[in-house]
Chain A
């Protein structure tokens, strides 16, 4: 029965899981390619505050690593590993090395700053992909080894379901925490304007939009907007099990994250990229295959 539910709500092919592998690893690959590691290596190691298991590493290790040259070497290793895992080359190994290297890199960044959320969901997805057969299709490995024995559909469906559940949990738990920490006060008229203005005052945020200063003029209406966002977060799990509302929930998510960018100078690009996990890639593949095999029928249908 559980298998039936899984197969009904998520793509169930090696192809679908392969595309998801490419998206998750590719997101980190692109992000890291555009990041200056030598600049990161220029920051003084004396302001580092190792977090979690990063505390287990000795200071002598960070002294060696936290230099422009060593960080460039680290970037090269990361890029090579992510290139291999994105393309599905030696997938069993490369997905694991990419997961461990990205996890360490994210830990290092959080040891300088704070434990923010944006990349965390994608890191969890890397963990899921590292231990599932995500290289059985849409990969260099699958082209080289065409005689591999096919696995049951569930082996490809449940990792995708797990990643979708993780995303739903990030939003759902976010709403629960807000209700637990702030309670009814979260719906006060000053909540959003005060928070948004605080994030728009300095020049240490990544963007410097000033729309937040307009919010006090409409603050009487903002509790409704905040309440609607809370409701959306609580209802996010419906996106997994109910296809009809899925795209409404995801489109609102895109609008929500764009709003936090323009009003609060806080953006979640990695999290937004993970929305692609909800696309039914099997259906897309079938559509493309149908178009190729029946081009005339398709043209007539269009006419």
Chain B
């Protein structure tokens, strides 16, 4: 923010979406799930995609175990902990609805898009999805 914005480099961003029992796809504002993270949700997601919790001087034992299993930090796929985050968000979303509601989620996903550099258009080039069945 201090550096300002420019059109010279592209930027990636994410949309949190849910797939309901009735078959709809709905946008899920993350602030309605974890309002404590006010103003910080998007950076938490970016850090999770970038596996930043695996690049600390002191790593959580479960993350150390995962690094061992993959054979190194560099071999981890992007967002290796995203399914855990999506699981938590999916459960929080479903908790807000009665168990018989057709609006309950059967899956939750994070869709990543890219706004390519150069102009004020083409904002939504699809890049990748992380999906978690609930």
Q: Which residues of A contact B (CB under 8 A)?
A: 34-37, 39-40, 42-50, 55, 59, 62, 109-110, 112-114, 116, 118, 174, 177-178, 181-182, 185-186, 188, 190-198, 201-206, 208, 213, 216, 266-267
Contacts and interface: CB of A to CB of B under 8 A. Distances in A.
Contacts of B4: 178, 182, 185-186, 188, 191-192, 194-195
A43 B57 contact: no
B21 interface: no
Given A193-B120, A206-B29, 5 more contacts: A48-B53, A49-B56, A197-B120, A201-B11, A202-B15
Given A42-B91, A188-B6, A197-B115, A204 B41 contact: yes
Interface of chain A: mostly helix, strand, loop or mixed: helix
Interface of B: 1-7, 11, 13-16, 27-31, 33-45, 47-48, 52-53, 56-58, 60-63, 81, 84-85, 88, 91-92, 113, 115, 120, 123-124
Contacts of A118: 39
The 6 closest A-B pairs by CB, nearest first: A113-B40, A195-B5, A194-B5, A114-B43, A204-B42, A191-B4
A180 to B, nearest CB: 8
Contacts of B63: 46
Which of B2, B47, B84 is most buried by chain A, counting CB atoms within 10 A of its CB?
B2
A114 B40 contact: yes
Contacts of B39: 113, 116, 118, 205-206, 266-267
Contact of B36 (A46, A49, A109, A174): A109
Contact of A208 (B1, B2, B29, B91): B29
Contacts of B11: 198, 201
B57 A47 contact: no
B58 to A, nearest CB: 7
A196 B92 CA distance: 30
Contact of A46 (B1, B3, B14, B81): B81
A201 B41 contact: no
B84 A204 contact: no
A195 B120 CA distance: 12
B42 A110 contact: no
25 contacts: A44-B81, A47-B48, A55-B58, A109-B36, A110-B40, A112-B37, A113-B39, A113-B41, A113-B44, A178-B4, A182-B3, A186-B4, A190-B7, A191-B6, A194-B5, A194-B6, A195-B1, A195-B4, A195-B5, A202-B15, A203-B28, A203-B29, A203-B30, A204-B30, A204-B42
Contact of B5 (A42, A110, A191): A191
B16 to A, nearest CB: 6
Contacts of A62: 60
Nearest to A190: B7
Nearest to A37: B36
B85 A44 contact: yes
A267 B39 CA distance: 8
